[in-house]
């Protein structure tokens, strides 16, 4: 499929600015890359599934240990597994899709804003997106939502290139294909196609910049075929496997992922219950500094809505549809609205050059940045010298002393705010969060890694039992299986602990001279003597133990 080339070449200084923007994005999103292992809650699970795909050759149906993992479609696991196979390093492979996705989103928002308005507007839009709290936080994590953001933003870019700047049928079809890839990444991926709804309204209400190709043109109807083709990359082999083999476990997997984890999870969730307005409040906080511009933007947005400027109204109406869709469900998480953030930056783009010249906006950014930096310094002082119980519990639960790290970030933030001054408060805001992510990546990753990833405790386990011993896991977490230094035995992840203990007890006493079991203390009472257990270490706020045949009771109670 041939995509249209860029219509207007960038000037030399514009090209330089674009590369500087991408370099800053690489620094903010990539500092610390390769310095940590997967951290809970989702990262070890996804990395383990990807690693097992490479080791077993089963790429269609994901597995967690020997059990089928039916919570998510496989596209992220394919990328992580493919990169792991290619590069040979899980530390690199598990985070690389998120990093590349973040850089792609920044580049797409910049390019589309430049085409719709101008270079300065594009720099402000993409730059403010880059330092938005939720964006950097999610792009530095190896979760599905980071990859989904890149896929949905690419699809939105393709649609808007065609709908606002078209005809660009190549981009239109690419958008549908990306929506199909989004479907096999996370079920909500095709929601990006709802952009066609405000486009239809705009065709009726406005004479603004808009592609008005005839609805009867056959090219419009080719788009869904690209979606089906993309989704069929996984759904085709999955359907063949299920229909041919008639395996009850695979049929249960299909029911789990298409019904339990999609429809029922939306209508009848099991957690994350929040009021209907939760996502609005969350976005107000985590979309800063873009949301700080709203007091100065609302009047202009009202004017643009009155004449329905499609460049602003199409993204904003779609954002509203996303908020309504996710607010209807009783279960809400702030990450659900992440795909709307780049479109929010794009919708505000034409207003930002005027807003950043407002003294009140710069003062507000200065005040927020100063408050955040000051709170970090105060937290470090209380944690290091005070007796604040909540902060002390945080230190004890991680078995580390994080307060020098927190204090350093706070001090650097105060320096950034001081150097920027009130008249450049937005720059100070960016300086605070650049300090957060750079220092956290270079210092915080190595500091926290053993406590959060279970790598340290699993290395200690390997030394304690020796290289020739066999190891089994009971009541385990994904990071334990992922970080083990040898092939291990496990008795299921979702299986009840008492049943795991009985199976583990039988496994242990069958070869008492060389076998060990790794487990949590609450598991010890039924089949093992707690007084004969060896403490293996502490990780993820849990104490872990080793038992051998000497700790096994004659029979499980």
Q: Is residue 71 part of a domain?
A: no
pLDDT at 6: 37
Q: Is residue 445 part of a domain?
A: yes
The answer to whether the bond into 458 is cis (omega within 30° of 0) is no
322 with 199, same domain: the answer is yes
379 with 303, same domain: the answer is no
493 with 438, same domain: the answer is no
178 with 265, same domain: the answer is yes
CB atoms within 10 A of CB 87: 12
Q: Is residue 62 part of a domain?
A: no
113 with 162, same domain: the answer is yes
283 with 379, same domain: the answer is no
pLDDT at 401: 80
Of 320, 355, 390, the domain-final residue: 355
pTM of the shown model: 0.92
425 with 315, same domain: the answer is no
Question: C-alpha distances in angstroms, 184 versus 79, 101, 242, 363, 515?
Answer: 12, 16, 17, 44, 41
Domain hosting residue 119, numbered range: 12-33+95-355
Cα within 13 Å of Cα(319), Cβ side: 18
Of 409, 429, 452, the domain-final residue: 452
Q: Is residue 1 part of a domain?
A: no
Q: What is the CA radius of gyration of the chain?
A: 26
Q: Is residue 177 part of a domain?
A: yes
Of 330, 355, 380, the domain-final residue: 355
Q: Is residue 483 part of a domain?
A: yes
Instruction: Report d(CA 252, CA 259) in Å as an integer.
Output: 10
Q: Is residue 77 part of a domain?
A: no
pLDDT in tens, the chain (557 residues): 344 333 445 566 788 999 999 999 999 999 999 999 999 889 999 999 999 999 999 999 999 999 999 899 999 999 999 999 999 999 999 999 999 999 999 999 999 999 999 999 999 999 999 999 999 999 999 999 999 999 999 999 999 999 999 899 999 999 999 999 999 999 999 999 999 999 998 888 777 788 888 778 899 999 999 999 999 999 999 998 888 888 888 888 998 898 888 888 888 888 888 999 999 999 999 999 999 999 999 999 999 888 888 999 999 999 999 999 999 999 999 999 999 999 999 999 999 999 999 999 999 999 999 999 999 999 898 887 776 555 555 555 556 788 899 999 999 999 999 999 999 999 999 999 999 999 999 999 999 898 888 888 999 999 999 999 999 999 999 999 999 999 999 999 988 888 999 999 999 998 988 999 999 876 677 888 888 899 988 887 788 999 999 988 888 87
Which is nearest to 50 in space by CA: 89, 80, 75, 23? 80
413 with 477, same domain: the answer is no
Q: Is residue 19 part of a domain?
A: yes
23 with 139, same domain: the answer is yes
228 with 277, same domain: the answer is yes
Number of domains in the chain: 3
315 with 382, same domain: the answer is no
261 with 188, same domain: the answer is yes
């Amino acid at each position: 499929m041939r995509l249209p080339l860029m219509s207007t070449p960038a000037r030399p200084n514009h090209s330089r600015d674009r590369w500087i923007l991408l370099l800053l994005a690489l620094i903010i999103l990539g500092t610390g890359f390769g310095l940590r292992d997967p951290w809970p809650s989702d990262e070890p699970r996804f990395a383990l599934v990807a690693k097992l795909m490479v080791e077993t050759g089963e790429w269609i149906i994901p597995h967690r240990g020997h059990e089928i993992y039916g919570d998510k479609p496989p596209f992220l696991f394919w990328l992580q597994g493919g990169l792991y196979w290619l590069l040979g390093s899980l530390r690199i492979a598990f985070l690389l899709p998120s990093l590349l996705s973040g850089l792609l989103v920044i580049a797409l928002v910049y390019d589309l804003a430049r085409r719709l308005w101008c270079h300065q507007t594009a720099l402000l839009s993409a730059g403010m997106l880059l330092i938005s709290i939720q964006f950097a936080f999610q792009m530095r994590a190896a979760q599905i939502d980071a990859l989904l953001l890149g896929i949905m933003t690419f699809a939105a870019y393709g649609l808007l290139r065609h709908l606002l700047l078209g005809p660009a049928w190549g981009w239109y079809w690419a958008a549908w294909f990306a929506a199909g890839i989004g479907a096999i990444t996370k079920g909500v991926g095709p929601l990006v196609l709802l952009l066609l709804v405000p486009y239809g309204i705009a065709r009726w209400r406005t004479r603004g910049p808009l592609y008005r190709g005839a609805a009867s043109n056959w090219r419009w109807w080719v788009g869904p075929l690209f979606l089906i083709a993309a989704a069929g990359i996984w759904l085709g082999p999955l359907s063949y496997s299920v229909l041919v083999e008639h395996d009850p476990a695979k049929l249960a997997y299909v029911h789990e992922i298409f019904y339990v984890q999609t429809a029922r999870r939306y209508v009848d969730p099991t957690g994350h219950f929040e009021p209907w307005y939760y996502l609005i409040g969350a976005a107000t906080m985590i979309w800063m500094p873009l949301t700080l511009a709203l007091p100065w933007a609302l009047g202009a947005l009202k004017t643009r809505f009155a004449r329905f400027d499609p460049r602003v109204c199409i993204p904003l109406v779609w954002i509203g549809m996303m908020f309504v869709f996710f607010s209807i469900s009783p279960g809400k998480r702030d990450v659900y609205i992440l795909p709307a953030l780049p479109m929010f930056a794009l919708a505000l783009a034409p207003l930002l050059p005027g807003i950043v010249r407002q003294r009140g906006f710069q003062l507000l950014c200065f005040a927020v940045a100063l408050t955040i930096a000051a709170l970090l310094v105060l937290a470090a002082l209380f944690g290091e010298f005070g007796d604040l119980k909540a902060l002390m519990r945080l230190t004890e639960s991680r078995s580390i002393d994080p307060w020098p790290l927190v204090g350093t970030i706070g001090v650097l933030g105060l320096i950034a705010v001081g150097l920027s001054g009130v008249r450049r408060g937005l720059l100070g805001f960016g300086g605070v969060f650049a300090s957060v992510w750079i220092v956290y990546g270079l210092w915080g990753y190595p500091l926290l890694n053993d406590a959060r990833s279970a790598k340290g405790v699993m290395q200690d386990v390997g030394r304690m039992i020796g290289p020739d011993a066999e190891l089994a896991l009971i009541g385990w977490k994904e990071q334990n299986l992922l970080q083990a230094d040898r092939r291990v035995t496990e008795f299921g992840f979702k299986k009840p602990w008492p049943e795991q203990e009985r199976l583990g007890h039988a496994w242990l006493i069958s070869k008492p001279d060389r076998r060990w079991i790794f487990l949590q203390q609450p598991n010890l009472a039924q089949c093992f003597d707690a007084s004969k257990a060896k403490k293996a270490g502490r990780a993820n706020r849990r104490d872990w133990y080793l038992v051998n045949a000497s700790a096994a009771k004659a029979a499980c109670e």
